[in-house]
A and B are shown apart, each in its own frame.
Chain A
């Protein structure tokens, strides 16, 4: 009989889901949206995604070496960030800008904070925010879907939310000029990964099946935007299907690291994102507010986690 046994604290079994598996599933769940994006916006879109992913992965690897930390690039989180970052960009973003953005996402927003698990802001959104304030024109130049996906040149056009904002500025009640079906299928101008809602929802369903994301944040986020659109004089369905809300609600706001851990906290987080998005869309300088509202709520996450704690079994609820 062998006489050296492994000893460790209980439990002695673990579920199959580890970080690497979760990140691979995230990549798979984003695949439909990648395909849709290439179909809708052509090869431009593919270039942006590939450059972004490669930059993110290489930056992660570089950081691992420079900071003399363990090699974490294999966990796949950098690749997920790369895809998500690309999804927030217009298809015509110059590739050098994508490189800078990918580098900022991993180096500044993630590794400088200590790597996966320690970052405060969603890296993809943080990088987008930096790019948007650095090169506002390039980051808000939207193009129409291409006729053939091999086409690289594109016709600029305003996004549905941009049209609404423009219309509101002009004093009229705006109609986005795109049908619900267009909005749903994504054959509209916009960031390259945000437009095709059906592809995004397909991926989101996968994440739900594997219990990687919780319903609370996406549900409260979307519901809040839909409800608030009524007093703000917008069409609720169009408000939900326009811009980056679906992408943001299912893939950005649910980012494990930067969202609250408790059930109550998740509800509050979704609510906060929804309120901020609605306010920015209607009263802010930008037509879209998903990115900034999620980033803002990211800052509040530690606070939410501190104060919105579950009621411990066998105790009365105490709030503060």
Chain B
């Protein structure tokens, strides 16, 4: 792998404060961007999947009938690339069985907790001052708290914070870009809990032993930029480390890890590589906040901020929701779905990369950044590719999505591979601009699936 891969494109990205390609879909952030985060009342029942992260599934450490307290570990990590899960409410375990999951197509083994009256208040193991703790201890706390990347990918944070010894990581990038339309959870978090996010950044800097951090925020969040800039400028906070807020151009997918690194460091993460190959670790602002809560308050990851929005939701909100709360409960709390003629689409995540759901009987998981209830866009027929090249123009990975889609349609996965289908991040920019309405991302996923099947004997 080639780490030094600057090239002139990197330079251009640097000059324009962005990466190459991308699209600018309507932002739709107005309904929730100025609404304070609201704590949703505790649900009476939660379903906690044992798999909410990238990596090995957890193993339950409780059995049906057990009484559990809020914050108690109920599923333990199996192996290094895994992450434990915790009871998000106090109550009794009523089932451990397979339940529908918002990300994984097949039902996933989950633990059901039903609350008991009156609810037992949780007591966190308060740590307060963490300055005496070593990086390893801090990492242990993060791993024990079940923290995963809260931007959506849900990769275990302790793994991301343990880059291989031989790599020289010198930069921490805090991702507050939130480039997906509608979503405002990171935005509100930076505005309302900036001090805590900053504390999380300090912990992350200590763990990584780096002296340089960038906080990346898209320019459509001027209030967040202002607050974070104030903190960044406060030298007394940083113990000698340089922290800079980088306002970035509003463009999708500005928050994608590789594009973010390219926009800030002007370095390209090598194909098949990770940001640490160019000396960077990227963490979401939500993750940084969770790290603060885990280390300073001793609180495991049992709740997260979810933007509930979309043109068919009655009262769009930013909600602090317990993990395992049913989508139906969350939507009901946000006023429910506005009745209408048109079909409704329920999306977990943003409209560009989120996953459409077929039921509301699903739990909020660690990676649920938003729940959108939208009018289904009038279905448009997919026509043959007219080779206009718009997808090539917008692809942030410099691929030729039209060719990949054509080959995938013919099941020619080998050709898809020569056209670098594996480098596709499925950001959806190509499909967004396609005038022939070709389901390019769908076909890319299909090709990747075909390739992974071909690899297996």
Contacts and interface: CB of A to CB of B under 8 A. Distances in A.
B423 interface: yes
Interface stretch (A32-40, A160-168, A305-313): A305-313
Interface string A266-286: 100000000000000000000
Interface in A229-259: 256-259
B208 to A, nearest CB: 22
A1 B360 contact: yes
Interface string B12-29: 000000001001011000
Contacts of A263: 392-393
A261 B400 contact: yes
A148 to B, nearest CB: 41
B217 interface: no
B400 A262 contact: yes
B398 A310 contact: yes
A310 B271 contact: no
A9 interface: yes
A137 interface: no
Contact of A117 (B374, B377, B383): B383
Interface residues of B, number: 75
Contacts of B272: 314
A312 B420 contact: yes
A287 interface: no
Interface stretch (B41-49, B241-249, B432-440): B432-440
B163 interface: no
Interface string B417-457: 00010010010100111111101011001000000000000
B96 interface: no
Contacts, number: 181
B360 A10 contact: no
A37 to B, nearest CB: 27
Interface stretch (A17-25, A56-64, A99-107, A139-147): A17-25
B387 A5 contact: no
Contacts of B360: 1, 3
Interface string B175-201: 000000100000000000000000000
B106 interface: no
A19 B355 CA distance: 26
B357 A7 contact: yes
Interface string A189-217: 00000000000000000000000001000
Given A311-B398, A312-B271, A114 B345 contact: no
Nearest to B342: A6
B359 A5 contact: yes
A116 B386 contact: yes
Q: From DSSP, what is the main secondary structure of chain A's interface residues?
A: loop
Contacts of B5: 314-316
Contacts of A1: 328, 331-332, 336-337, 360
A257 B395 CA distance: 19
A8 B380 CA distance: 12
Given A261-B392, A314-B423, A10 B428 contact: yes
A75 B436 CA distance: 11
Most chain-B Cβ atoms within 10 A of its Cβ — which of A1, A11, A257? A11
A200 B26 CA distance: 32
Contacts of B385: 117
Contacts of B270: 314-315
Interface string A291-310: 00000000000000100011
A261 B358 contact: no
A18 B345 contact: no
A17 B3 CA distance: 38
18 contacts: A1-B332, A1-B337, A4-B358, A6-B345, A7-B357, A9-B356, A15-B23, A18-B437, A21-B435, A22-B435, A70-B381, A256-B386, A256-B387, A256-B388, A258-B387, A310-B400, A314-B271, A315-B271
Interface of A: 1-15, 17-19, 21-22, 70, 72, 75, 114-118, 214, 256-263, 266, 305, 309-316
Return the 8 tightest CB-CB contacts between A and B, nearest first. Answer: A11-B428, A261-B389, A117-B384, A9-B442, A256-B388, A314-B271, A310-B398, A6-B376
